[in-house]
Amino acid sequence: MATKQTAAEVVVVDYGLGNLRSVTRGLERAGADVTLSEDPAEFAAADGIVLPGVGAFSEGMDNAGPFREALVEEAEAGTPLFGICLGMQMLLTTSEEADHEGQGDAEGLDLVPGKNVRFRTDQTVPHMGWNELDVQRDHPLVDGVDGEYAYFVHSYYAEPADDDAVVATTDYGTDFASIVANEAGNVFGTQFHPEKSGETGLQILRNFVGICSE
């Protein structure tokens, strides 16, 4: 009798911001066993952690404050940590998106060194809709998605301190980092929403579940 393969145990961080239902559904379709959690103590038992997010950077970091230490500990321990949209921006060091103009940069998790900046072109902001992914380097998250299209909604984008952190770019008046990863490769994020990106997004979520299963 064949033994049923155990699905990857993935925790989705519930810090009050994010498309939790659609992210959970997408991960389940990709083969994950998903737990929504407000308890950082549950992170250590997970095969992977997802940090979703929609909204403003400062609010996101304020809400995620109680999770900061646990997220950094798990990232440093090698646990796969996947930031989505605002969650990806929160992986960086700072953001121009402070609560008030002139307040200075807001601080992120500093797991992928770099800064989030606002689009400075004549393009309409926010960047909203489908756009192409141009893979820049190998990473298991992007297997099978080079040249495919994903769904974006954002006004800020990542400028990593190290060019090697850029896994994929997208053109919106400027080539910006649409997928980033840390040097170790276990902390990564997508500026777009894979849970809203059809088959391309599902492939990325499957890739993530595969990383968690290793």
Just list the catalytic residues: 85, 193, 195
11's CB contacts (< 8 A; 6+ apart) are 34, 35, 36, 37, 42, 43, 46, 48, 49, 50
Evaluate whether 17 touches 54 at the Cβ level (below 8 Å). Answer: yes
Write out the H or E segment, with its range, that includes residue 33.
Answer: strand 33-37
Distance between CA atoms of residues 103 and 197, nearest Å? 35
Q: Tell me which DSSP letter residue 141 carries.
A: G
Q: What is the spatial distance between Cα 207 and Cα 214, in angstroms, rounded to a whole number?
A: 11
